[in-house]
Amino acid sequence: MKKYFSFLFVTFILFSCTKEDKKQSEFISGELFLDSNNEHINAHGAGFLIHDNTYYWFGQHMVSGKEGNKAMVGVRVYSSTDLYNWKNEGVALKMKEDSSSKLQIGSVLERPKVIFNKKTKKFVMWFHHELKDQGYKAALTGVAVADNVSGPYKYINSFRIHANVLPQNFSKEDYDNAAEIKSRKDKNWKEKVVKGAFFKRDFKGGQMSRDMTLFVDDDETGYHITASEENQTLLISKLSDDYLSLTKEYIRVFPGGRNEAPAIFKRNGKYFMFSSGLTGWKPNPARLSVADSMLGKWTSLGNPVIGTTEEKATTFHSQSTYVIPVIDKKDAFIFVADRWRPKNAIDGRYVFLPVQFKDNVPYLEFKEKWDLSIFDK
């Protein structure tokens, strides 16, 4: 009997050591990314928040099968102090069983992002929201708020944006001159989009908001960045002081440029944005752009990928979602992207790559395995 207990004890110790040994110390793109329970991290279309020296990873909780792209559970959150090892902190924002709620189970909730408001001490989450059984027609942005980083987040509302408000870089005259688009077969379709045809169509009811991200500047000003006008044009809007609503200050960016998946970071006073083209769940070439201020003029810098033709054409088979600034490391940023698997959404994979710089211009290069020491070189 004694022998039996010693055997059990030794097995237990060995098992604990093995588990401990499994601590991760590098990024491997495209493989399963296991959490501390050895389960694949389920937080797609991710957004990251750094709070109290801890990283929080928020994302879409997918389920298996095709239905998995719908929000059956909500937004999941994980925490980490080293970016390699993540602990599941549960569901931050839960979908609602109540079928009268816009946030009901089975609606679409994508790309959740969370920021912390230093004045109100609240955590504020924004996300792309589509109403149940309406495909991608609603094109809403949603907002929720919490007292604690991992929630529970209280759902506030989802809505179209900027109804009856003109952007700073689109005058009343531009508005009056904007044509109407009757169908995609219209002659000069693209030109009409650039000149604000969809903008004008949605002026009274509010502009569409699909793929989105948030960015907080050094002075704590918050920004909401979103794909609008049938995904043809990005809108960048300043958030209110409490981050719970959009102010009237906003701009149209790259009208007719068909940008999705925006991810922003700031280096040496310049604002950089990674984005993608528009091909549904399939990957396409990434884009990079730069501006001197968030509501200033954005200039395209082309495809940031350095690599094979295939890597350039597919952004390493992924689509951008966020850029993480690394704690306590200067000029250290991580490009995070999704390898979507729409037929079995829960199996979607993640790509983590260091943002590298040449002549102060960011670029991305595939690394099968890498760790944070790359930033010390």
- Site residues for ligand DGJ per CB under 6 A: 45, 110-111, 211, 260-261, 280-281, 319
Q: How far apart are CA 182 and CA 234, in angstroms?
A: 22
Could you tell me the smallest distance in angstroms from the CB atom of residue 2 to ligand DGJ?
59
User: Nearest approach, Cβ of 228 to ligand DGJ (angstroms)?
Assistant: 14
Cβ proximity to ligand DGJ, 202 vs 338, nearer residue = 338
Q: DSSP string spanning 80-129?
A: ESSSSS-EEEEEEEEPBS-TTSTTBTTSEEEEEEEEEETTTTEEEEEEEE
Smallest distance, ligand DGJ to C-beta of residue 236, A: 17
CB of 108 to ligand DGJ, least distance (A): 8
Give the CA radius of gyration of the chain. 22
Q: Which is nearer to ligand DGJ, 48 or 116 (CB)?
A: 48
Q: With DSSP H G I counted as helix, E B as strand and the rest as coil, what are the percentages for the chain, rounded to 5?
A: 15, 40, 45
- Minimum distance of ligand DGJ from residue 136's CB (angstroms): 7
Q: For residues 44 and 102, which CB has a smaller minimum distance to ligand DGJ in the complex?
A: 44
96 within 8 A of 155, measured Cβ to Cβ: yes
In contact, 58 and 125? CB cutoff 8 Å: yes
Query: Which residue has its beta carbon closest to ligand DGJ?
Result: 280
Taking the complex as a whole, the smallest distance from the CB of residue 147 to ligand DGJ amounts, in Å, to 28
Encoded tokens for 330: 């200067």
Query: Residue 226 or 237: which CB sits closer to ligand DGJ?
Result: 226
Q: Which is nearer to ligand DGJ, 280 or 302 (CB)?
A: 280
In the complex, the smallest distance separating the C-beta of residue 107 from ligand DGJ, rounded to whole angstroms, is 13
Shortest reach from residue 277's CB to ligand DGJ, in Å: 10
CA angle, 89 then 222 then 101, to 5°: 55
User: Which stretch of DSSP H or E encloses residue 131?
Assistant: none
Bridge partners of 365, per DSSP, are 306
Nearer to ligand DGJ, 222 or 277 (CB): 277
Compute the distance between CA of residue 359 and CA of residue 135 in angstroms, rounded to an integer. 43
Are 346 and 67 in contact, with CB atoms under 8 Å apart? no
Question: Nearer to ligand DGJ by C-beta: 150 or 213?
Answer: 213
Is residue 176 helix, strand or coil?
A: helix
Q: Are 112 and 211 in contact (CB under 8 A)?
A: no
Q: Which is nearer to ligand DGJ, 188 or 342 (CB)?
A: 342
Two tokens at 325? 């600034």
Give how far Cα 269 sits from Cα of 82, 217, 252, 290, Å: 26, 10, 21, 11
